């Protein structure tokens, strides 16, 4: 170990010599002052060493001939020697030493109190912002800011928190964190608090009058300290900030290594000081380390804590003031007093200066008038308050000149008050003081006003307070004059519960003029605080500013005080009364009121109530009536909208306590109660005095007390929603006033609005905030989706459908007008009824109808035009909205989507063991969707005239499914396997008059199969029957989202960004309802546009261009995704413009020529392994061949659709989307809104007929994201034949392609319905074997040889002929098949053995031969040689009319027209019904068969 220490010392010495240089001999010897001592890190044994390092640059010599000084190291010193405050541990010592006078020690504590720069060692702070108290996501705000003399929480926006964080290790078992703070924020909503290791130790605070001292103990170990200023979702108050002017952390070290010198302006003469004291008035300390402050020289002065003195100027009239002596009886019997003058404290002028003014002598004066409400006592000559019930305005006098008091009349009251305009003496129970760098010890009496004193610097709080006792709620008024740009006046009160509240939010901004302020005061004893705060960022030595920075109060007025006097008689307001000589108005009890200036209370008029004593009666809310005692309104849970039959019943949502669960937003909890007020005995919602609140809507603040957000119920029609939304507003008014001041407006009572929205699927539901909770001033809005927000069902919710007139009878069917129904309970659907009718002889054209005569032939029939919002076909039926008549009721008020319109029925097609299901209404309501397995839909209608049936259909058949349409049992339409339609097709068929049965069938439906490749299904749209009658008996309403004018034969769909909610004649622009809303085509409601973000844009690159300096670059820009529904306009969000970027690399097989990517000439290819040449193209090697391959979207250089691409979109969800779009390195199916979508993109290609060596194929990569039904996903079709359906996955696919032209198609399919989405991306599409594109080289594969390959035919290798093979790539020649084996086709990679009973005639056989003689296992010989193809037994036909020609022994060509050189012989030929000729088998083998007995 000693050797190690020696080596350490040697290193130090050597390093020192390295820096000495060549002039070593001329340098002096080193002393202790040339070294810096430091401790090593503490080791595991809690020991450390003291080592020394030479100061740089080295200016002395060590050792050698000079014998310079080398200090000895000290080893194994304890790491935990602790010293108290005022002591320090000298370097290398083991005993603490006292600090000398002029210095101090904090006992190892670290102090941060000069806020100009963040500490570089010791206390290492970090500051940042969070997006919310519970949200760990960082937000963009500056965090805490250093301001010199203090730091503040910075600029924080709504729903953000500014965090100051300190991570520290405490080594001592006795440690603390100590800081001083001040906060001025929105009361009870925005807060400052302090955490230790995530635990709040300083409770959340919104306001402090002055800086507050806080200390918390810390244990040994690692700690995270966080000072947090957090804002709620809206509004601000006060300065909207927290401030800290000192942070001290002890325990991070056991002791200080040295004492800290006293700063300028401070001194200490004690040994062992823990701090230095500010120099008193008229003293100074002009350097550090001073033991005492020096007195200012004659003719100068200083304020507290000064580093220098300022010259005393000549005194002026501004430097003295006056006060009045007490009034007393003079010699002549009248009241007299004197006016006395005095220098203002502190005295900062020089009275001895010859240019100074002198104090004026005292002046005798007659006693002035008493303040209003007071009179001068004739015995004591002092001002005394008028007796209770009487008043004086100070103007009326008796014969002796003394003011008299007058009694108030009945209906009036003499309200006692203080009106202080004379400040010769302090009020009773008053106090004043100062904290910080004070110039004056507190506020000063100035005769006509009081002020905050002078000479204040840095952070100063100067307060003045006095107590008042109010016998009734009163008001405070005062006037201030502020003369300081960095100062403010704060007023607050402290009531019986100690709460601080109220603040002049922007007092520091109103400078240089008198400002009047009026505030309400509660009844009881209250302390009034006026605080002058000067918050300078730097030390202020300017005499002018320190002399003039102040605030003054010119008057203070308080009414309702016990010890005051009345200056007038106040008429009693409505709700209160007074008899003769009263000093206050008495409130009428709840349920009663009075007229102004009355002596009697009367009961509230009919329809009105009064719940609180002293308030005028007010009307009950809409839908409620007063209770018998008129103290409240009945909270009826049922309400009928005026002028309608819509009755709402909220009683299932009513309960005696608050509705749960609580709603928590930004640390505030909201409790709602429907239809009733929570009684006063509730244990949940208390006010700030601990009293239970009688309310229907309660906000609980983070401090735990409640705020009444409304207690008077009223019903109102649903506001701020589209006409198509059903519901009702429940409004609670009369909440606590007080929030509007943050809008710089008069306070108004808070209120709560619950927007009840009809949702038959929600059950009871729960309330949620509507956007930002307080979007409107003092109004708290919630949305509550619930079944009970729907009205009870009535006949207004039912529509009639007239059936055709058959044999004098007509059925009238009833169905719900909406699906899903927008009502609950109430009436049930009436049963179908039959009425008399006559078949009309009148023909009415489309757009008109004839009213049914009910079987009365005497009524004259006429054609009547259909009104707007309806249509007629002129004797037909069209079903284009399956929700409208496609639903029913199960008898319990529930919807049943499998019930169909009149005339339709579900057909059971199941036979034993089959899977069957019913057609059902698709989520979009515009179509019917087939089910799983077999599903059949039927309809029966009577055609009184020859007519037609017409409909649109769309099928998705990937394998074995099929779709058929039958009329009277005869199939009229059939779609078989492997068909996927991207848009509906139309079908129509003529029918004769009479009764007809129609059936739509789908077989092998697999909509819900877990295997996506099995997806099978069909959709039906717009079914129309014409010829049912010569005229329609009624007009059909247009579906929501569709409109028509009068006399219309059809309805037209509303375009995007408009809506119609049924039976409309025109589409309403969304902008007429909300400028920031949108809709899809055919919508019945508009939706709010979300705010744009980066997700609404994608990057688009321009073409590669050559710059002037020879470099290559391309432009880049952001393009809005379509369909675009986010907010647009000049203020809409747009991503920053990207900078120009490098050009994308050329795709594989291409080379760069300047800004262009080019293809090598035919017969050559780009060899990626060869050195770059110009151009880098070469011919293939002898054992290689070339093939062509088209590549798309392999790099982000593809930015345009080429001619062979097409794209489109079909369905309601397409909106503004025209199909797929090009993204970086891929194509994407775009974004789609709610509604069915088939977004497709197709590629047309040609496969080269001469490229027989290469197996042609298409290969691509894909990603699919989807939610909703399993058949949402990505289809891929080759020549309209489906090959796959992929959902929610990523991967790659390769499919072979035949020679010729092909259509490749990708379809992103999405079902309608909420939450149904699909997004597909395809990239790196490669077409191998195409007729065009770049060439690629590959080794000749097995089955080929290079022996016959010509140099000119670089795109093929020679295929091995039949009877030969090659088993490896790059073979030079083909090998003949051995005897007994054969290879029947060219390009073989091996030979097959001949089957039993066959043989070859040597090597190189292309097939095996036989003599048709076979020996069986038992020894029998079978000879088939006499059978040949000419035999009548050689042909046979099957049930499908296919003919089989069999030649057992001899192989033959199937058709004489075949080319013998190109086609092979076979034993079996098949001639199909369609005329095709197929090879049925060319390899003969004998198979021995035995019967069951052998």
1309-1326 pLDDT tens trace: 887 766 678 889 999 999
Rounded distance between C-alpha atoms, residue 304 and residue 440, angstroms? 9
* pLDDT the model gives residue 180: 94
Per the model's pLDDT, the better-predicted residue between 478 and 440 turns out to be 478
Rounded distance between C-alpha atoms, residue 663 and residue 667, angstroms? 10
For 1111-1151, write each residue's pLDDT tens digit: 888 888 888 877 778 877 666 777 877 777 888 888 888 88
pLDDT band at 840 (very low <50, low <70, confident <90, very high): confident
Given a cut of 80, is residue 688 above it in pLDDT? no
- Say if residues 377 and 329 touch (Cβ distance below 8 Å): no
* pLDDT the model gives residue 1450: 73
Rounded distance between C-alpha atoms, residue 1126 and residue 142, angstroms? 29
Long-range CB contact pairs, 1438-1443, < 8 A, 24+: 1440/1473, 1441/1473, 1442/1470, 1442/1471, 1442/1472, 1442/1473, 1443/1470, 1443/1471
Given a cut of 60, is residue 766 above it in pLDDT? yes
* pLDDT the model gives residue 1136: 79
Rounded distance between C-alpha atoms, residue 970 and residue 953, angstroms? 18
Rounded distance between C-alpha atoms, residue 125 and residue 164, angstroms? 7
For 718-732, write each residue's pLDDT tens digit: 988 877 788 999 999
* pLDDT the model gives residue 1256: 87
Neighbour tally for 301: CB within 10 Å = 23
Rounded distance between C-alpha atoms, residue 993 and residue 995, angstroms? 7
* Residue bearing tokens 């039958």: 966
User: Which of 151-165, 192-206, 758-772, 1339-1353 comes out lowest in average pLDDT?
Assistant: 1339-1353
* Cβ neighbours of residue 572 closer than 8 Å, sequence gap 6 or more: 411, 412, 413, 578, 585, 594, 596, 597, 598
- Identity of the highest mean pLDDT range in 1-15, 190-204, 1337-1351, 1411-1425: 190-204
Long-range CB contact pairs, 52-60, < 8 A, 24+: 52/12, 53/12, 54/12, 54/16, 54/19, 54/30, 56/19, 57/19, 58/16, 58/19, 58/20, 58/27, 58/34, 59/27, 59/28, 59/34, 60/27, 60/28, 60/29, 60/30, 60/31, 60/34
pLDDT band at 569 (very low <50, low <70, confident <90, very high): very high
Rounded distance between C-alpha atoms, residue 1408 and residue 1381, angstroms? 8
Given a cut of 80, is residue 211 above it in pLDDT? yes
Q: Residues 159-165: what's their mean pLDDT? A: 90
* pLDDT the model gives residue 1489: 47
For 608-655, write each residue's pLDDT tens digit: 998 888 888 989 888 888 989 998 888 778 899 888 888 999 988 887
Rounded distance between C-alpha atoms, residue 386 and residue 453, angstroms? 34
Neighbour tally for 273: CB within 10 Å = 24
Name the strand (E) or helix (H) holding 298: none
Please give the DSSP secondary-structure letter assigned to residue 1454: S
Reduced to 3 states, what is the DSSP secondary structure of residue 475?
A: strand
pLDDT band at 1013 (very low <50, low <70, confident <90, very high): very low
Closest of 1336, 1328, 1341, 1348 to residue 1368, by C-alpha: 1341
pLDDT band at 26 (very low <50, low <70, confident <90, very high): low
* pLDDT the model gives residue 18: 32
Residue-wise DSSP of 430-473: EEEEEEEE-SSSS-EE-BS-EE--S--EEEEEEEEEEEEEESS-
* Two structure tokens written together for 1326: 């490669």
Name the strand (E) or helix (H) holding 372: none
- Say if residues 671 and 697 touch (Cβ distance below 8 Å): yes
To the question of pTM greater than 0.75 for the whole model, the response is no
DSSP E strands, 876-969: 876-879, 888-889, 895-896, 904-907, 920-921, 927-929, 933-943, 947-957, 962-967
For 470-523, write each residue's pLDDT tens digit: 998 889 999 999 888 778 888 877 765 544 444 333 344 467 788 888 888 888
For 953-971, write each residue's pLDDT tens digit: 988 876 677 899 999 999 9
* pLDDT the model gives residue 904: 87
For 269-292, write each residue's pLDDT tens digit: 999 999 999 899 899 999 999 999
Neighbour tally for 1412: CB within 10 Å = 18
* pLDDT the model gives residue 60: 86
User: Which of 11-25, 923-937, 1079-1093, 1463-1477 comes out lowest in average pLDDT?
Assistant: 11-25
Long-range CB contact pairs, 743-748, < 8 A, 24+: 743/235, 743/777, 745/777, 748/777, 748/778
Our measurement of the distance from residue 1112's CA atom to the centroid of its chain's CA atoms, rounded to an integer in Å, reads 41
Q: What is the CA radius of gyration of the chain?
A: 49
pLDDT band at 1281 (very low <50, low <70, confident <90, very high): confident
What share of the chain in percent tops pLDDT 90?
22
* pLDDT the model gives residue 401: 47
Rounded distance between C-alpha atoms, residue 1052 and residue 1039, angstroms? 10
pLDDT band at 1332 (very low <50, low <70, confident <90, very high): confident
Reduced to 3 states, what is the DSSP secondary structure of residue 319?
A: helix
Closest of 228, 252, 65, 94 to residue 162, by C-alpha: 228
* Two structure tokens written together for 1030: 């010569």
Q: Residues 512-541: what's their mean pLDDT? A: 79
For 1161-1218, write each residue's pLDDT tens digit: 888 898 877 666 567 888 888 788 888 899 998 887 777 888 899 998 888 777 767 8
* pLDDT the model gives residue 838: 75
Residue-wise DSSP of 1387-1453: T-SS-EEPPTT-B-SSSS-SS-B--SEEE-TTS-EEE-TT--TTSGGGEEE-TT--EEEE-SSS-B-
* Cβ neighbours of residue 729 closer than 8 Å, sequence gap 6 or more: 715, 716, 717, 718, 719, 753, 754, 755, 756
Closest of 1287, 1356, 1358 to residue 1318, by C-alpha: 1287
User: For residues 774, 778, 782 and 788, what is the CA-based torsion angle, rounded to 10 degrees?
Assistant: -170
Closest of 912, 1201, 1213, 1179 to residue 1080, by C-alpha: 1213
User: Beta strand 751-758 with 779-786: parallel, antiparallel or unpaired?
Assistant: parallel
* pLDDT the model gives residue 227: 96
Please give the DSSP secondary-structure letter assigned to residue 695: B
Burial class of residue 518 (count of CB atoms within 10 Å of its CB; 0-12, 13-18, 19+): exposed
pLDDT band at 427 (very low <50, low <70, confident <90, very high): confident
What share of the chain in percent tops pLDDT 70?
84
Closest of 403, 404, 321 to residue 368, by C-alpha: 403
pLDDT band at 7 (very low <50, low <70, confident <90, very high): very low
Mean pLDDT for all residues in the chain: 81
Closest of 1391, 1362, 1360, 1377 to residue 1460, by C-alpha: 1362
* pLDDT the model gives residue 94: 87
* pLDDT the model gives residue 507: 43
- Say if residues 861 and 853 touch (Cβ distance below 8 Å): yes
Q: Residues 9-31: what's their mean pLDDT? A: 47
Q: Residues 827-841: what's their mean pLDDT? A: 83
Rounded distance between C-alpha atoms, residue 1356 and residue 1250, angstroms? 8
Closest of 37, 42, 36, 35 to residue 253, by C-alpha: 42
Rounded distance between C-alpha atoms, residue 291 and residue 277, angstroms? 10
């Amino acid at each position: 170990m000693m050797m190690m220490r020696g080596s350490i010392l040697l290193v130090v010495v050597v390093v020192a010599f390295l820096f000495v240089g060549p002039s070593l001999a001329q340098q002096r010897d080193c002393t202790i002052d040339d070294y810096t001592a430091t401790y090593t890190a503490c080791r595991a044994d809690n020991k450390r060493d003291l080592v020394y390092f030479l100061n740089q640059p080295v200016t002395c010599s060590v050792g050698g001939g000079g014998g310079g000084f080398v200090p000895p190291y000290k080893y194994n010193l304890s790491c935990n020697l602790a010293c108290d405050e005022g002591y320090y541990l000298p370097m290398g010592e083991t005993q603490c030493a006292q600090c000398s006078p002029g210095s101090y020690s904090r006992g190892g504590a670290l102090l941060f109190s000069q806020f100009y720069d963040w500490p570089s060692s010791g206390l290492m702070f970090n500051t940042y912002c969070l997006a919310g108290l519970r949200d760990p996501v960082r937000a963009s705000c500056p965090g805490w800011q250093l301001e010199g003399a203090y730091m503040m929480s910075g600029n924080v926006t709504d729903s953000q928190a500014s965090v100051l964080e300190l991570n520290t290790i405490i080594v001592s078992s006795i440690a603390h964190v100590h800081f001083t703070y001040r906060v001025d924020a929105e009361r009870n909503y925005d807060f400052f608090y302090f955490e230790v290791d995530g635990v709040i130790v300083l409770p959340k605070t919104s306001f402090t009058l002055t800086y507050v001292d806080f200390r918390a103990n810390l244990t040994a170990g690692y700690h995270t300290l966080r000072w947090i200023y957090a804002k709620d979702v809206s509004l601000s108050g006060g300065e909207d900030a927290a401030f800290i002017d000192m942070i001290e952390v002890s325990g991070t070290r056991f002791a200080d290594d040295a004492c800290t010198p006293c700063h300028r302006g401070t001194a200490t003469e004690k040994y062992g000081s823990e701090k230095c004291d500010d120099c008193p008035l008229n003293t100074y300390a002009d350097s550090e380390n001073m033991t005492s402050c020096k007195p200012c020289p004659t003719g100068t002065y200083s304020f507290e804590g000064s580093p220098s003195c300022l010259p005393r100027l000549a005194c002026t009239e501004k430097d003295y003031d006056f006060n009045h002596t007490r009034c007393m009886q003079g010699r002549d019997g009248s009241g007299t007093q004197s006016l006395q003058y005095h220098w203002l404290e502190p005295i900062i002028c020089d009275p001895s200066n010859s240019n100074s003014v002198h104090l004026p002598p005292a002046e005798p004066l007659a006693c002035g008038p008493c303040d209003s409400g007071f009179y001068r006592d004739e015995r004591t000559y002092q001002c005394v308050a008028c007796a209770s019930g009487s008043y004086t305005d100070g103007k009326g006098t008796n014969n002796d000149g003394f003011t008299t008091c007058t009694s108030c009349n009945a209906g009036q009251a003499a309200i006692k008050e203080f009106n202080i305009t004379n400040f010769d003496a302090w009020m009773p129970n008053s106090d004043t003081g100062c904290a910080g760098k004070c110039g004056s010890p507190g506020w000063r009496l100035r005769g006509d006003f009081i002020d905050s004193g002078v000479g204040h610097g840095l952070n100063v709080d100067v307060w003045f307070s006095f107590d008042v006792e109010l016998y009734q709620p009163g008001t405070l008024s005062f006037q201030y004059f502020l003369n300081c740009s960095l100062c403010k006046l704060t007023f607050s009160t402290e009531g019986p519960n100690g709460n601080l509240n109220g603040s002049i939010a922007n007092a520091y901004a109103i400078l240089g003029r008198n400002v009047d302020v009026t505030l309400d005061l509660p009844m009881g004893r209250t302390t009034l605080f006026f605080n002058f705060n000067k918050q300078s960022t730097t030390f202020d030595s300017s005499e002018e500013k320190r002399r003039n920075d102040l605030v003054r109060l010119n008057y203070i007025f308080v009414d309702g005080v016990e010890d005051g006097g009345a200056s007038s008689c106040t008429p009693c307001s409505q709700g209160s009364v007074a008899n003769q000589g009263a000093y206050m108005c008495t409130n009428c009890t709840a349920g009663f009121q009075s007229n102004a200036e009355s002596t009697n209370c009367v009961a509230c008029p009919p329809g009105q109530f009064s719940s609180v004593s002293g308030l005028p009666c007010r009307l009950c809310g809409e839908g409620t009536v007063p209770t018998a005692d008129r103290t409240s309104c009945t909270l009826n849970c049922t309400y009928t909208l005026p002028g309608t039959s819509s009755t709402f019943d909220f009683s299932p949502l009513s309960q005696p306590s608050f509705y749960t669960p609580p709603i928590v937003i930004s640390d505030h909890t909201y409790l709602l109660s429907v239809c009733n007020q929570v009684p006063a005995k509730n244990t949940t919602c208390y006010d700030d005095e601990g009293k239970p609140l009688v309310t229907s809507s309660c906000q609980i603040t983070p401090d735990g007390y409640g705020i009444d957000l409304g207690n008077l119920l009223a019903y109102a029609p649903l506001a701020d929603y589209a006409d198509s939304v059903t519901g009702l507003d429940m409004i609670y008014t009369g909440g606590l006033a007080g929030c509007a001041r943050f809008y710089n407006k008069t306070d108004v009572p808070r209120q709560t609005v619950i927007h009840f929205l009809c949702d038959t699927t929600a059950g009871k539901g729960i309330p949620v905030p509507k956007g930002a909770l307080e979007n409107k001033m003092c109004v708290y809005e919630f949305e509550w989706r619930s079944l009970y927000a729907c009205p009870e069902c009535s006949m207004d919710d039912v529509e009639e459908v007239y059936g055709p007139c058959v044999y004098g009878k007509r059925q009238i069917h009833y169905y719900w007008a909406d699906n899903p129904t927008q009502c609950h309970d109430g009436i049930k659907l009436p049963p179908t009824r039959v009425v008399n009718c006559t078949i009309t002889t009148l023909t009415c054209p489309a757009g008109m109808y004839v009213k049914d005569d009910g079987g009365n032939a005497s009524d004259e029939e006429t054609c009547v035009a259909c009104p707007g919002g309806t249509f007629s076909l002129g004797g037909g039926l069209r079903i284009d909205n399956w929700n409208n008549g496609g639903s029913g009721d199960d008898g319990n008020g529930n919807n049943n989507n499998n019930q169909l319109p009149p005339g339709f029925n579900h057909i059971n097609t199941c036979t034993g063991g089959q899977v069957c299901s019913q057609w059902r209404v698709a989520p979009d309501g515009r179509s019917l969707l087939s089910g799983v397995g077999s599903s059949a839909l039927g309809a029966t209608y009577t055609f009184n005239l020859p007519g037609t049936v017409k409909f649109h259909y769309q099928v998705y058949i990937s394998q074995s499914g099929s779709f058929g349409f039958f009329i009277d049992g005869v199939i009229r339409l059939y779609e078989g396997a492997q068909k996927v339609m991207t848009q509906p097709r139309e079908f129509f068929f003529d029918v004769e008059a009479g009764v007809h049965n129609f059936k739509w069938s789908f077989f092998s439906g697999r909509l819900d199969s877990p295997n996506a490749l099995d997806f099978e299904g069909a959709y039906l749209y717009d079914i129309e029957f014409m010829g049912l009658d010569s005229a329609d008996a009624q007009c059909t309403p247009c579906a929501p989202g569709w409109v028509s004018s009068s006399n219309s034969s059809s309805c037209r769909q509303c375009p995007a960004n408009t809506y119609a909610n049924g039976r409309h004649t025109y589409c309403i622009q969304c902008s007429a309802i909300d400028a920031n809303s949108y809709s899809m085509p055919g919508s019945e409601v508009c939706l709010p546009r979300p705010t744009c973000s980066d997700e609404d844009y994608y990057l688009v690159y321009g073409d590669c261009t050559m710059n002037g300096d020879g470099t290559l670059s391309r432009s880049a820009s952001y393009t809005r995704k379509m369909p675009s529904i986010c907010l647009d306009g000049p203020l809409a969000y747009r991503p920053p413009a990207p900078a120009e970027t490098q050009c994308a690399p050329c795709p594989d097989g291409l080379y760069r020529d300047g800004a262009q990517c080019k293809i090598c000439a035919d017969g050559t290819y780009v060899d990626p392994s060869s050195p770059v040449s110009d151009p880098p193209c070469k011919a293939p090697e002898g054992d290689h061949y070339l093939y062509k391959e088209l590549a798309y979207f392999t790099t982000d250089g593809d930015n345009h659709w080429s001619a062979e691409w097409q794209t489109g979109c079909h369905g309601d969800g397409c909106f503004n989307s025209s199909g797929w779009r090009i993204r970086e390195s891929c194509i994407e199916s775009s974004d789609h809104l709610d509604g069915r979508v088939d977004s497709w993109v197709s590629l047309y290609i040609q496969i080269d007929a001469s490229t027989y060596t290469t197996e042609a194929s298409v290969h691509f990569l894909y990603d699919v994201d989807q939610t909703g039904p399993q058949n949402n996903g990505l289809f891929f079709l080759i020549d309209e034949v489906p090959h796959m359906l992929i959902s929610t996955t990523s991967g790659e696919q390769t499919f072979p392609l035949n020679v010729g032209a092909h259509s490749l198609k990708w379809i992103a399919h999405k079902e309608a319905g909420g939450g149904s989405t699909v997004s597909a991306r395809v990239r790196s599409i490669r077409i191998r074997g195409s007729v065009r594109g770049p060439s690629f080289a590959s080794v000749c594969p097995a089955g080929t040889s290079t022996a016959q390959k010509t140099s000119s035919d670089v795109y093929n290798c020679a295929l091995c002929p039949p009877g030969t093979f090659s088993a490896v790539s790059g073979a030079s020649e083909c090998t003949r098949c051995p005897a007994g084996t054969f290879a029947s086709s060219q390009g073989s990679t091996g030979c097959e053995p001949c089957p039993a009973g066959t043989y070859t005639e040597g090597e190189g056989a292309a097939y095996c031969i036989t003599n048709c003689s076979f020996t069986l296992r038992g020894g029998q010989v079978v000879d088939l040689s006499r059978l040949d193809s000419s035999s009548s037994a050689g042909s046979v036909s099957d049930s499908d009319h296919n003919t089989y020609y069999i030649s057992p022994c001899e192989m033959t060509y199937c058709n004489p027209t075949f080319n013998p050189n190109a086609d092979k012989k076979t034993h079996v030929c098949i001639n199909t019904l369609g005329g095709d000729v197929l090879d049925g088998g060319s390899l003969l083998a004998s198979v021995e068969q035995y019967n069951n007995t052998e």
